[in-house]
Structure 1
Amino acid sequence: MTTTSSGGEPAPTTADREIVISRVIDAPRELVFEAFTLVRHLSRWWGPEGFTTTTRTFEFRVGGVWDFVMHGPDGTDYQEWITWRAIAAPERIALLHGESRDDPNAFESVLTFAPAGGRTRIVMRTVFPTRELRDEAVEKYHAIEGGEQTLGNLAAYVAELTGNETAPRGAEG
């Protein structure tokens, strides 16, 4: 889809700089949203399979920061930093994610939480500053698989909370 700017030229799109991952989770929207808002939840499921998370600071509010380290299964530590840009509970979270507050390669993500019967459709749309950074995230850091695994971990964690532990861990969408 092409849009036009006020000058009549085609407006730039983000399609070549974005990753979109979605999943339907067998839990109410409010609970799925809450799993993103409290560090006691995030520390239990955040990250791809085999990763753990250590939080240094966490303040879930617009302008607040989550400063954390993701520990890879191979022992590699990844410094991470998120600032929350917009929060519309329980519908939407917008954030900026990088290695540090001043990371020039930080990327923006918007997560939406839509009711789907008694379930929740979560969509994670991530836009990188350049196509090259997006491609590097996909090829070097396996961002698509990692994002799908992260949402799978969220689904499994929420299933534990609801007592519905038979929920599949694979991507659904």
Structure 2
Amino acid sequence: MSANQKTLAKANEIHLVRLYDAPVEMVWDAWTDPAQAAQWWGPRGFTLTTHSKDLSVGGTWRYTMHGPDGTDYPNIATYHEIERHKKLVYDHGATEISPPLFRVTVFFSTVGKKTQMEMTMALATAEAAAETRKFIKQAGGEATWDRFAEYLAEQIEHKERFVINRSFAAPIEVMYDMWTKAEHFSQWLPPTGFTMSFIRADIRVGGSSFYKMTNGSSEHNVTMYGRAAYLEMNKPHRLVYTQQFCDEHENISRHPMAPIWPETMMSKVEFTAEDDNRTRVTVTWEPFGAVTAEELQAFMKERGGMTMGWTGSFDKLEAQLQTLLENK
């Protein structure tokens, strides 16, 4: 947690910190240019129409977010402070007939070759903040900042990625163990409704695992095999591994329900301590090795489904952590 975040931590506020692999000038421009914002602003499945934008103190950004179900969400943002490449303060959520929902303060700072974005959303009361947190989670609103990371990666590296973040109430060492000890992650990683068992679990750099997942249904049984190869393990900060679908003899195969899915995927997992008992997990998922245009297109189209899948796994991880920490 940064000094700014510690200073601003109040019950009526919602905090968000992200580290983007891009220079601050690019992050600022992608945030403030409405043409670029239209490529990433909003939860997955949402689109954006800007009606007007005046990036000046007292100026407004008038836009409408269009939900995947056809619902429109008009918004008038009014700017109060602007420090180029450093800070934005604005009111969010106003319409022509209703006042703003909250005030947003965003700090942009350079960290090496990367940019840290630190956001505070200040609401009228702690109760309003709790309700807004709930709404953001239900709407998938935090995916906005994951989409931002994907957009920047495409602009800089011309790579298509999937990014998802989640903050957990657990120390960083515990979170790292939940990802690197088979007895833990076999309980939460499988898709909802599936169980996972290991045929081999050699979890170390240069090692590999071979596992089985099944839904256990007598009518519509689905059994999948997979293997992972561990490329990097920097305890407790970073984990990198590749995954492939296999048959029961560990011969490479394809996803049983997605035959044009890329053969090999790479997962990069970053663990960031937000305080002594809270850790943010950032998962970056991308095709690895030789990938056809058709496979890449299949990957890009499934980002919404990936969000749902990872969210289900993260919900199980959250419940498992709660049980684990309560029993300590």
Whether TM-score is above 0.5 comes out as yes
Structure 1 residue 102: Cα displacement: 6.1
**2:111 is matched by which residue type in structure 1?**
A
TM-superposition CA deviations, 1:109-141 (whole Å, max 9, x none): 111111111111111110011223222212234
Structure 1 residue 90: Cα displacement: 0.5
> What's 1:169 paired with?
163
* Equivalences for residues 1-173 of structure 1 within 5 A: 15-100=10-95, 103-142=98-137, 145-146=140-141, 148-163=142-157, 165=159, 168-171=162-165, 173=272
Check the 8 A contact 1:21/1:144 in 2, yes or no: no
Structure 1 residue 160: Cα displacement: 1.5
Structure 1 residue 15: Cα displacement: 1.5
Separation in 2 of the partners of 1:143 and 1:134? 14
The alignment-based identity, stated in percent, is 33
Separation in 2 of the partners of 1:154 and 1:37? 12
**2:154 is matched by which residue type in structure 1?**
E
Length, aligned pairs only: 160
- Residue range with higher mean Cα deviation, 99-108 or 73-82: 99-108
Check the 8 A contact 2:106/2:118 in 1, yes or no: yes
**1:99 is matched by which residue type in structure 2?**
A
> What's 1:8 paired with?
none
Separation in 2 of the partners of 1:37 and 1:59? 10
Q: Can you give the 5+ residue segments of structure 2 that lack an aligned partner in the other structure?
A: 1-7, 166-269, 273-328
Separation in 2 of the partners of 1:45 and 1:16? 29
What SS does the corresponding residue of 1:82 show, helix, strand or coil? Answer: strand
Structure 1 residue 142: Cα displacement: 2.6
Check the 8 A contact 2:44/2:143 in 1, yes or no: yes
Separation in 2 of the partners of 1:124 and 1:141? 14
TM-score, normalisation: structure 2: 0.45
Check the 8 A contact 2:123/2:129 in 1, yes or no: yes
Check the 8 A contact 2:154/2:160 in 1, yes or no: no
Larger radius of gyration: 2
Tell me which of the two structures has the higher relative contact order, counting C-alpha pairs closer than 8 angstroms and 6 or more residues apart: 1
Separation in 2 of the partners of 1:144 and 1:23? 19
TM-score, normalisation: structure 1: 0.82
Q: Can you give the 5+ residue segments of structure 1 that lack an aligned partner in the other structure?
A: 1-12
Check the 8 A contact 1:96/1:107 in 2, yes or no: yes
What SS does the corresponding residue of 1:15 show, helix, strand or coil? Answer: coil
